[in-house]
A and B are shown apart, each in its own frame.
Chain A
Amino acid sequence: MKDIELKTLSAGFRDPEVIHSLTRKINKLATELNDSIQVMEVCGGHTHTIMKYGLNQQMPDNIEFIHGPGCPVCIMPKERINHAVELAEQPNVILVTLGDMIRVPGSKGSLAECRARGGDVRSVYDPMDALTIAKENPEKTVIYFAIGFETTTPMTAVLVELAETQGIENLLFHVNHVLVPPAVDAILSDDDCRVNALIGPSHVSVIAGAEIYQPLVDEYNVPVVVSGFEPVDVLETMLNIVEQKLEEQKSGEKPKLQLQYSRAVVPGGNTAAQKKVDDCFEPREHFRFRGLGDIPGSALKLRDKYAHRDAELIYSDKLSTEELDDHKVCLCPSILRGQAKPYECRAFGKACTPSRPMGSCMVSSEGACNAYFRYSDLTDSE
């Protein structure tokens, strides 16, 4: 078999000629549109692609990107970040979490600041490292602060399963896994929402399948295209959306669910992973999304049979319960609904920066304000 090199996985998807040809086609077709398109890229990964590669600059005036809530770090409300800090401050506890999570400030500072004060906070890339840390520190309680949408949930489920089968008693979980469809539903159901097309998060769909978005297509009459993350993927997706809009305009054809990222996603998703998730977790009645508020059924919690591993129950007397909102000047709720752009916020780039974020969208590199701050849309902000 010919060796696959990493660059072959992305090189063709960043080919300037293909990109030029797609943008030409989109721009040509878009002149035929009667109504403008406000497309929400739900996933922070897509926001990152659009801003980093300047794809928004390649779009005609009647196509606008609206940056959605699909960044697991950004949507974490402050009270739950406080939980992480409160847990890390417990004696004999090692708090383990993923990447960006450690620099997000709650009202008690960030996990990085907690670590500087002496808290044992470990940032890992592979959740399985939490198991190793638990084995190496049998006298300590290791708490895995689990975050992420459907994409990362199976890894946490496997971690729970391994801790059970290997009898690793000192590994606990604080579960913050959230779900894409209820969050998008909450945005689209708002009367003031301007979104009329969706770019579907696709790594979520690798696990959960593309079909999870069909109810959104049916309910809100919007095209949803499940897209890959390279520039050519996103542009091809945009072309699909424009074509769907034109078909609807010309022949009244209903919007549909399309799968652009077919090299990784199948309609039904990864059923083995889904089974593991289902065994381990059940939906919460509601979960507060930072910037969006309470959304019913939008997150998961450990099933009762794993209550002995649920740090939220075990440390319930140590964890604060007060709900904490962002500063009232913060425009994140409007930005997430497509009613405002990051640079329209009075705090953007001044009181609110990636080093000292005030609102959810500035928090992680995949948040809309953060992406605008780092890459700035030269055409919009100048």
Chain B
Amino acid sequence: MKAKEIQLSHGSGGQEMNDLLGRLFYKHFANDILLKAEDAAMLQMDGPIAFTTDSFTVSPLFFPGGNIGKLAIAGTVNDLAMAGAQPEYLSSSFVIEEGFSIEQLTTIVESMAKELEKSGAKIVCGDTKVVPRGTLDGVIINTSGVGSVKYAGLSASNVQPDDAILVSRNVGSHGSCILMARDELKLESDLVSDCDTLWPQVKALMDAGVELHSLRDATRGGLAAVLNEWTASSRVGIHVQEKAIPILDEVHGLCELYGFEPCDLANEGTMILAVPRVEAEKALAVLREFHSDAACIGCAAEADKHRVTLTTPWGSRRYLDMPRGELLPRIC
């Protein structure tokens, strides 16, 4: 009978580990390079290459709209896409807690395989470790990836004065979903995470000939962190109209209840774009093929203070600051 839980022996390099690799990773990630099972994958690539890595840990491991596996693929693939690179080859390393359900692990791996289809990237090498029960919470996944650069020059320091600032869809849904799914807040809603691969949108923008200056997926720290990174790196000011930022009612609701800011919440399939003002409409037309609520939220400008300012619907202005510390609900 096959084991139902991961055991320490699954990570110790012997028969049990080979069985697990065969029926799980090789099966779902199958491709010519991976199946050679060499110590290192051999890759053929031309021109400039983008390279990135990320480790994924999320509680809970399964959330509405995704799981840690989907996140681990989308996250790394998106980092490549934001550099203008077509995601091609990924590694995947699993650190698994002893006793973790093989059924859940299978679901995670299947989600990864499905997410890879969206960009056409392949997992070409990997590693599995099992650690004693209690030393981590379920599973941690690291993915690294390379891709060939198709659009050169995208950079956080390349936001130009007079650029339009766009968002590809509503912000804050992943962060809200995770907070609601945690035990402490005990909330229910129909909200699903935005967790998604962004390469098809980036490719569509390139195919449409849109001039791009900077792309960022607004992960931890959300929209506020991206805009603040841009103002610091590009030495510009960014002005945002509060009412132009697309935010779902559910996300607003969570933030009202607990004192969070939608712009501080994480996203896992939402990008922020800086494009020349004259390109804004063309870019939005492409983005709206994917999400109807893509929007222009403001513009960059020459400024003495390289900060993000936000204008309320009644004309007051304030800074939109970099999020700080851990997200803690307010007291009363």
Contacts and interface: CB of A to CB of B under 8 A. Distances in A.
Interface string A240-271: 00000000000000000000000000000000
Interface in A77-97: none
Given A16-B313, A125-B185, A129-B184, A375 B328 contact: no
A99 B328 CA distance: 5
Is the contact region of chain A dominated by helix, strand, or loop, or is it mixed?
helix
A100 B331 contact: yes
Interface string B170-194: 0000000000000011100000000
A148 B331 contact: yes
Interface string B307-323: 00100111011110100
Contacts, number: 88
Most buried by A among B257, B318, B326: B318
B180 to A, nearest CB: 12
Interface in B274-332: 305, 309, 312-314, 316-319, 321, 324-326, 328-332
B318 A6 contact: no
Interface stretch (B84-92, B207-215, B248-256): B248-256
B313 A125 contact: no
Contact of A53 (B257, B305, B312, B324): B312
Nearest to B330: A99
Contacts of B317: 54, 57, 378
Interface in A56-104: 57-58, 72-73, 98-103
B259 interface: yes
Interface residues of B, number: 28
Contacts of A355: 324-325
A103 B324 CA distance: 11
B331 A52 contact: no
A5 B256 CA distance: 12
A366 B259 CA distance: 10
Nearest to B252: A7
Contact of A375 (B186, B305, B319, B324): B319
Contacts of A125: 184-185, 258, 329
A245 B185 CA distance: 44
Interface in A3-39: 5-7, 9-10, 14, 16, 19-20, 23
Given A5-B253, A365-B259, 8 more contacts: A52-B318, A55-B316, A57-B316, A100-B331, A102-B328, A152-B331, A373-B321, A378-B309
25 contacts: A7-B252, A10-B256, A16-B313, A16-B314, A51-B318, A53-B312, A53-B316, A54-B316, A58-B316, A98-B331, A99-B329, A99-B330, A100-B331, A101-B331, A103-B326, A125-B184, A231-B314, A354-B325, A365-B259, A366-B330, A373-B321, A374-B321, A375-B318, A375-B321, A378-B309
